[in-house]
A = this chain, B = another copy of it.
Amino acid sequence: MSRFHELLQLAGEHVNTTLDGLLEVPDGHEGRLYEAMRYTALAGGKGFRPFLCLASAQIFDAPEPAAIRVASAIECIHCYSLIHDDLPCMDDDDMRRGKPALHKAFDEATAILAGDALISLAFEILTDAATHDTATTRLELVAGLARASGMQGMVGGQMIDIMAARDMLDAGGLTRLQKMKTGALISFAVDAGAVLGGAEPSDRHALAGFAHDIGLAYQIADDVLDVEGDADHLGKSVGKDAAQDKSTFVSLLGVARAREQALQLSHQAVGYLDVFGARADPLREAAAFVIQRRS
């Protein structure tokens, strides 16, 4: 395993430990809700967003335990989006992370509630004093996550995605969709580490450029994987975009040009990291990872 994959796995494990502690199953009937939240949130995601947050925090010497808490909040939001997106009335996916989707393993009502509760949990985690000792910083994180996850970010993007299945988007529209649906949370993950470390605006600006480009590269690579990937590796179904007549970077550009575009974006992303020297090496490896990943 490469050093980068070790860091990715470690980020995932840190988040797992944190969420495991926060989601102790109570005795009452609501225990089922906690079980459902655990089913997805502790299922071992790729750890990509948590990793970005930890790697960014490290550049600015932010304490790791704080960064792990923020990464855990981000993972809650990411997991809730997967749970709701997988529902029959949405993308209707039966498999997720190599096992039945939550609404299959439990039921639809429990899946909706588990997603809802993960949103509140994310904000609760950020407000706790253990996340940062100043209220202003915690509040800035809450505001950033609320924006990234809501109507102007992730949820707005998912709405566009659903509508776009009927009304094909051009490359500009598709880029906008990606920036909202997946880019906003990736950008928040990178920015959050900097916020925790009290980074200067110019440094946050550079990281925003990096996050924008790897976010887009990540999505293009995802579209390529949906065409060329292997369901066993991905732990979810493939070929769904084409089956649903969705606009994707592959349907617009073809596989070869889509790959090329992802490669260019990845190089461009790394350019933003020069100011940080060797401390940004993990983020450089992330930029390489997004275009090489198989799952």
Interface residues of A (CB under 8 A from B): 28-30, 32-34, 37, 80, 84, 87, 89-90, 107-110, 112-113, 115-117, 119-121, 123-124, 126-128, 135-136, 138-139, 142-143, 145-147, 149-151, 153, 155-160, 162-164, 167, 173, 176-177, 180
**Docked CA distance A115–B119 (Å):** 11
* Contact call B155/A117, Cβ cutoff below 8 A: yes
Known: A108-B89, A121-B151, A150-B120. A29 touches B159 (CB 8 A): yes
Question: How many copies of this chain?
Answer: 2
- Tell me, rounded to whole Å, the shortest Cβ–Cβ distance linking A159 to chain B: 4
| Cβ–Cβ < 8 Å partners of A160 in chain B | 28-30
Please state if A163 and B119 are interface contacts (CB–CB under 8 Å).
no
Q: How far is the CB of A149 from chain B (nearest CB, A)?
A: 5
Given A89-B107, A135-B135, CB of A120 within 8 Å of CB of B159 = no
Rounded to whole Å, the gap between the CB of A226 and the closest CB of chain B is 20
Contact of A112 among B89, B126, B163, B173 (CB under 8 A): B89
Contacting residues, chain B, for A149 (C-beta < 8 A): 120
Nearest opposing residue in chain B for A22, CB measure: B151
Are B30 and A120 in touch, CB under 8 angstroms? no
Residue in chain B with minimal CB distance to A91: B109
CA distance A121 to B29 in the complex (A): 29
Most buried by B among A128, A138, A153, A176: A138
Docked-complex contact B107 and A151, CB < 8 angstroms: no
Q: How far is the CB of A60 from chain B (nearest CB, A)?
A: 20
Contact at B135–A139, with CB atoms within 8 Å?
Answer: yes
Cα A142 to Cα B84 in complex, Å, equals 23
Give Cα A32–Cα B157 distance, bound, in whole angstroms.
11
Q: B30 near A156 (CB under 8 angstroms)?
A: yes
The CA-CA distance from A97 to B153 in the complex, in Å, is: 29
Is A163 touching B29 in the complex (CB atoms < 8 A)? Answer: yes
A151 touches B112 (CB 8 A): no
Contacts of A120 in B (CB 8 A): 119, 146-147, 149-151, 153, 155
Q: Which residues of the other chain, B, contact A177 by a CB distance below 8 angstroms?
A: 29
A155 in contact with B123 (CB, 8 Å): no
Is the beta-carbon distance between B127 and A112 smaller than 8 angstroms? no
> Which B residues touch A127, using CB under 8 A?
139, 142-143, 146
| 15 cross-chain CB contacts under 8 A | A29-B163, A29-B177, A30-B156, A30-B159, A32-B163, A84-B113, A84-B116, A89-B109, A113-B155, A113-B159, A116-B116, A119-B120, A119-B150, A121-B150, A135-B136
